[in-house]
Amino acid sequence: MKSPRRAFAEVAGSIEHRSPAASKEEPTVPIQSDLDILVARQNGRALAQQLGLSTGDQTVIATVISELARNILLYARPGWMILEVLETDGRKGLRVVARDDGPGIADIERAMQVGYSTSGSLGLGLPGVRRLVDDFEIFSRVGEGTTVTITKWKP
Protein backbone atom coordinates (compact mmCIF):
# COMPACT_ATOMS: atom_id res chain seq x y z
CA MET A 1 0.00 0.00 0.00
CA LYS A 2 2.97 2.28 0.43
CA SER A 3 5.82 3.16 -1.84
CA PRO A 4 9.13 2.70 -0.06
CA ARG A 5 10.46 5.93 -1.54
CA ARG A 6 10.20 8.71 0.94
CA ALA A 7 11.62 12.15 1.20
CA PHE A 8 11.72 14.21 4.32
CA ALA A 9 12.81 17.74 4.73
CA GLU A 10 12.60 20.13 7.59
CA VAL A 11 13.12 23.63 6.30
CA ALA A 12 13.48 26.45 8.73
CA GLY A 13 15.27 29.14 6.85
CA SER A 14 14.76 31.98 4.48
CA ILE A 15 12.49 30.34 1.91
CA GLU A 16 9.76 32.71 0.80
CA HIS A 17 6.50 31.89 2.55
CA ARG A 18 4.22 30.76 -0.24
CA SER A 19 1.14 32.90 -0.67
CA PRO A 20 -2.06 31.02 -1.39
CA ALA A 21 -2.98 33.65 -3.98
CA ALA A 22 0.11 32.75 -6.00
CA SER A 23 -1.36 29.41 -7.11
CA LYS A 24 -4.31 30.47 -9.18
CA GLU A 25 -5.34 27.23 -10.84
CA GLU A 26 -5.44 25.20 -7.62
CA PRO A 27 -8.53 25.04 -5.45
CA THR A 28 -7.80 26.66 -2.13
CA VAL A 29 -10.10 25.72 0.76
CA PRO A 30 -10.01 28.04 3.76
CA ILE A 31 -10.06 26.24 7.12
CA GLN A 32 -11.99 28.16 9.74
CA SER A 33 -14.48 25.71 11.22
CA ASP A 34 -15.01 21.99 11.76
CA LEU A 35 -17.29 21.94 8.73
CA ASP A 36 -14.36 23.12 6.57
CA ILE A 37 -12.40 20.04 7.69
CA LEU A 38 -15.19 17.86 6.32
CA VAL A 39 -15.34 19.72 3.03
CA ALA A 40 -11.56 19.64 2.58
CA ARG A 41 -11.32 15.92 3.13
CA GLN A 42 -14.25 15.18 0.85
CA ASN A 43 -12.56 17.26 -1.87
CA GLY A 44 -9.35 15.35 -1.24
CA ARG A 45 -11.03 11.97 -1.53
CA ALA A 46 -12.80 12.99 -4.74
CA LEU A 47 -9.53 14.17 -6.30
CA ALA A 48 -7.73 11.00 -5.18
CA GLN A 49 -10.46 8.88 -6.72
CA GLN A 50 -10.32 10.89 -9.95
CA LEU A 51 -6.57 10.28 -10.03
CA GLY A 52 -7.20 6.55 -9.74
CA LEU A 53 -5.73 6.01 -6.28
CA SER A 54 -6.92 2.88 -4.44
CA THR A 55 -9.70 3.21 -1.85
CA GLY A 56 -7.00 2.61 0.76
CA ASP A 57 -4.99 5.57 -0.51
CA GLN A 58 -8.14 7.69 -0.83
CA THR A 59 -8.74 7.07 2.87
CA VAL A 60 -5.14 7.97 3.63
CA ILE A 61 -5.48 11.28 1.75
CA ALA A 62 -8.76 12.15 3.46
CA THR A 63 -7.32 11.32 6.88
CA VAL A 64 -4.11 13.27 6.31
CA ILE A 65 -6.14 16.29 5.25
CA SER A 66 -8.26 15.91 8.36
CA GLU A 67 -5.22 15.88 10.66
CA LEU A 68 -3.51 18.84 9.00
CA ALA A 69 -6.73 20.88 8.85
CA ARG A 70 -7.34 20.08 12.50
CA ASN A 71 -3.92 21.46 13.43
CA ILE A 72 -4.74 24.69 11.61
CA LEU A 73 -8.03 24.92 13.51
CA LEU A 74 -6.37 24.19 16.85
CA TYR A 75 -3.18 26.19 16.58
CA ALA A 76 -3.22 28.60 13.68
CA ARG A 77 -6.60 29.49 12.32
CA PRO A 78 -7.29 30.67 9.73
CA GLY A 79 -5.34 28.65 7.22
CA TRP A 80 -5.76 27.09 3.81
CA MET A 81 -5.62 23.69 2.16
CA ILE A 82 -4.42 23.47 -1.41
CA LEU A 83 -4.92 20.25 -3.38
CA GLU A 84 -3.15 19.56 -6.64
CA VAL A 85 -2.45 16.72 -8.99
CA LEU A 86 1.23 16.30 -9.88
CA GLU A 87 2.70 14.71 -12.97
CA THR A 88 6.47 14.25 -13.17
CA ASP A 89 8.50 11.71 -15.15
CA GLY A 90 5.35 9.81 -16.03
CA ARG A 91 4.44 9.49 -12.34
CA LYS A 92 1.22 10.89 -11.01
CA GLY A 93 0.58 11.97 -7.48
CA LEU A 94 -1.65 14.01 -5.26
CA ARG A 95 -0.17 16.89 -3.34
CA VAL A 96 -1.72 18.50 -0.29
CA VAL A 97 -0.44 21.81 1.04
CA ALA A 98 -1.66 22.95 4.46
CA ARG A 99 -0.70 26.53 5.02
CA ASP A 100 -1.36 29.06 7.73
CA ASP A 101 -0.23 32.48 8.94
CA GLY A 102 -0.35 31.31 12.57
CA PRO A 103 2.27 31.47 15.33
CA GLY A 104 4.62 28.95 13.68
CA ILE A 105 6.48 26.09 15.37
CA ALA A 106 9.66 26.93 17.27
CA ASP A 107 11.08 23.39 17.50
CA ILE A 108 9.97 21.42 14.46
CA GLU A 109 11.94 18.32 15.36
CA ARG A 110 10.14 18.16 18.66
CA ALA A 111 6.74 18.69 17.07
CA MET A 112 7.50 15.70 14.83
CA GLN A 113 8.04 13.31 17.76
CA VAL A 114 5.27 10.90 18.72
CA GLY A 115 3.53 12.09 21.88
CA TYR A 116 4.61 15.72 21.73
CA SER A 117 1.65 18.07 21.98
CA THR A 118 1.10 21.58 23.31
CA SER A 119 -2.66 21.06 23.56
CA GLY A 120 -2.88 18.00 25.80
CA SER A 121 -3.84 16.06 22.70
CA LEU A 122 -2.27 12.78 21.56
CA GLY A 123 0.65 14.25 19.60
CA LEU A 124 0.20 11.64 16.90
CA GLY A 125 -0.86 13.94 14.06
CA LEU A 126 2.37 15.10 12.47
CA PRO A 127 4.45 11.90 12.89
CA GLY A 128 1.45 9.83 11.83
CA VAL A 129 0.92 11.91 8.70
CA ARG A 130 4.58 11.49 7.82
CA ARG A 131 4.24 7.72 8.10
CA LEU A 132 1.18 7.66 5.86
CA VAL A 133 2.55 9.58 2.91
CA ASP A 134 5.41 9.23 0.45
CA ASP A 135 6.88 12.73 0.64
CA PHE A 136 6.61 15.04 3.63
CA GLU A 137 7.92 18.57 4.08
CA ILE A 138 7.32 21.04 6.86
CA PHE A 139 8.34 24.66 6.81
CA SER A 140 7.69 26.96 9.72
CA ARG A 141 8.85 30.31 10.94
CA VAL A 142 7.86 31.67 14.34
CA GLY A 143 5.49 34.61 13.97
CA GLU A 144 4.91 33.93 10.28
CA GLY A 145 3.22 30.58 9.94
CA THR A 146 3.54 26.96 8.95
CA THR A 147 3.36 25.10 5.65
CA VAL A 148 3.12 21.31 5.51
CA THR A 149 3.40 19.75 2.05
CA ILE A 150 2.73 16.06 1.48
CA THR A 151 2.58 13.91 -1.64
CA LYS A 152 1.06 10.51 -2.21
CA TRP A 153 2.24 8.94 -5.47
CA LYS A 154 0.18 6.62 -7.59
CA PRO A 155 1.93 3.24 -7.45
Residues near a second copy (CB under 8 A) are: 4, 6, 8, 34, 73-74, 112, 114, 118-121, 127-128, 130-131
- 51-87-79 Cα angle (round to 5): 75
Give, as ranges, the residues between 109 and 138 that touch ligand ADP (CB under 6 A).
111, 116-119, 121-127
Alpha-carbon Rg for the chain, nearest whole angstrom, is: 15
For 39-67, letters b (16+ CB in 10 Å) and e give bbbebbbebbeebebeeebbebbbbbbbb
Q: Is 12 in the site for ligand ADP (CB under 6 A)?
A: no
Q: How far apart are CA 37 and CA 125, in angstroms?
A: 15
Interface residues with other proteins (CB under 8 A) are: 1-2, 4, 34-35, 37-38, 41-42, 45, 55-56, 58-60, 62-63, 66-67, 70, 114, 121-122, 124-125, 127-129, 131-132
Considering the complex, state which of residue 23 and residue 66 has its C-beta at the smaller distance from other proteins.
Answer: 66
